Chains A and B, each alone.
Chain A
Amino acid sequence: MLDVIDLNIEFHDHITPETVVYDFDLHLEKGEIVGIVGESGSGKSMSALAIAGLLSRKHMKKRGQIIFDGVDLLTCSRGVLRKYQGNDICMVFQEPMTSLNPVKRIGWQVGESLRIHTSLTEEQIREKVIKTLADVELDDPEGIYDKYPHELSGGMRQRVMIAAAIICEPKILIADEPTTALDVTVQAQILKLLKRINKTRGTAILFISHDLGVVRSLCERVLVMYRGRIVESGSTGEVFEHPREEYTKRLISAIPKMEKLKDGQ
């Protein structure tokens, strides 16, 4: 369904150009859940944004192919891209505050993609938005419908983002650290919801997380990124039981345990 071939992303903001993603390859089938883990700054979000068609900054070069439905999203026209964006491919962003519009009400923002891509009436949209807000475990969805982003807590905003991404039933959901601000109980509910959407609608999920426990419980396959490259990939069980790369080994051994930290005195 989705094929990413040799994706390279390069920035030209500064004197020396900087490549932040090298030769990224990914094949994603309908109904698959693939995890991406890796060091901070290794290029996870950049790859995800590129696939979602949301990376079009000045001073930047992208090479390679991102093929969805037989169309190359890197070279297709803006009009074609817009047809897929926010409809077939949706994204949950790492930092909710930067991607929610501060002056629009939550209900309006969550329903926006329905307004663009479907012909539902305002009444139907409202109903669906409220149902989706309840799906992501928000209490009082009607109350939240009329609120502004700054009136919600960090974890509530994060769930609003998830609601906005799943409401139009995308074929591919890209979730960038979607549960970082949620405590374990809410997180477990959200993961269950994602699994359910994946099972019932066949939504493919690309799940970026630094939480290896979560990746392990959710994803069949995992990619490990390090300094802009995919250094290891395979079935989640295989990669976690028998990591080949040094970085993957370090990552696994650093999983926090319930113990006191020593500051290396």
Chain B
Amino acid sequence: MDNKVLTVSGLNSYYNVKTDKWGIGTARRQVLKDVSFEIGRGEIVGLVGESGCGKSTLAKCILGMVKDHDGRIEHGSTKMIFQDPYGSLNPAKTVGWILEEPLRIKKELKDPERNKKVSEMIHLVGLDDGFLVRKPGELSGGQRQRICIALALMMEPDLIIADEPVSALDVTVQDQILKLLLKLNRELNIAFLFISHDLKVVYSVCERVMVMKDGMIVEQGSDEQIYRAPEHPYTRQLLAAVIDDPVRDGS
């Protein structure tokens, strides 16, 4: 585990699903099938795949939120930016309190330093101190998403799993957030598992890309490899939708 922040090997995961509408009969449905990959320190890896293929499930397995799984998962300090920001922020607390929480737990910093750090972070995600006194319910969708990003960054973990982190953001803010992630990646060597359905976004930040279909990783390689010479039909289908772009013209 020295230069790896995440090792996943032979991972299978299952959900119990009801087989009748009274909820008496249940069956074990497999979602992830023999998933294996590694992420090195400071690496940015993209995960793409169609809706429902198991991307969020993989993220939840890594964080120990899916009980029924087998295989091996090893990781260092890891934080997650959830796909559904609303559910992951405490609605009763203010944004300032929420962002300060990890620092309070760490107990390294004194009050004024903590406040300074919280304020710095909120500016980095394109918001200002005025938002610190608000509760999550008083924010717009994109503002909430940025609070989640700020929260994950606050902890400076080895790895951040970002599940559709910029999907609700307009292009100007999206650009700013992606640049911020790259900056923190460079300065603090934070690795990212970047889940997105947007191939352009993935290409713009990731060095390596994995393609998932029906719970299996059907293709993985360097971004250039995948984007220029996709092997799997699903990858080709995804790329066909953005075919007007220069990378694919093979220059």
Contact = CB atoms under 8 A, between A and B. Distances in A.
Interface of A: 11, 13-14, 37-41, 44-46, 94-98, 105, 139, 146-147, 151-156, 159, 176-177, 180-186, 188, 210, 212, 250-251, 254-265
A147 B16 CA distance: 11
B144 to A, nearest CB: 8
Nearest to A44: B140
Given A180-B168, A210-B168, A261-B179, 11 more contacts: A39-B172, A40-B126, A95-B84, A153-B56, A176-B141, A182-B197, A183-B197, A188-B241, A250-B172, A255-B171, A256-B201
A256 B142 contact: no
A177 B168 contact: yes
B179 A181 contact: no
Nearest to A94: B141
B197 A45 contact: no
Interface string B191-232: 000000111110111000000000000000000000100000
A155 B51 contact: yes
Interface in B6-45: 15, 17-18, 20-21
Interface residues of chain A: helix, strand, loop or mixed (majority): loop
B73 interface: no
A40 B51 contact: no
Contact of A97 (B84, B173, B200): B84
B173 A39 contact: yes
A111 B142 CA distance: 30
Nearest to B57: A153
Contacts of A265: 186
B115 interface: no
A184 B199 contact: yes
B50 A38 contact: no
Contacts of B245: 257-258
A263 B51 contact: no
B241 A185 contact: yes
A185 B84 contact: no
B77 interface: no
B17 A260 contact: no
15 contacts: A14-B133, A37-B170, A40-B141, A46-B140, A95-B86, A95-B141, A98-B86, A153-B51, A153-B52, A159-B51, A180-B167, A182-B197, A210-B142, A259-B204, A263-B180
A242 to B, nearest CB: 19
A135 B83 CA distance: 24
B171 A256 contact: yes
B183 interface: yes
A147 B197 CA distance: 24
Contact of A154 (B56, B134, B179, B248): B56
A146 B173 CA distance: 38
B164 A154 contact: yes
Given A13-B138, A184-B199, A256-B201, A263 B186 contact: yes
A44 B169 CA distance: 12
Nearest to B22: A146
B86 A151 contact: no
B30 to A, nearest CB: 15
A38 B201 contact: no
B109 interface: no
Nearest to A99: B86
Contacts of A182: 51, 197
A44 B126 CA distance: 18
A154 B84 contact: yes
B129 to A, nearest CB: 13
A186 B139 CA distance: 29
A265 to B, nearest CB: 7
Nearest to B247: A258
B170 A40 contact: yes
B51 A154 contact: yes
Nearest to B164: A181
A258 B141 contact: no
A254 B172 contact: yes
A166 to B, nearest CB: 18
A91 to B, nearest CB: 14
Contacts of B140: 40-41, 44-46
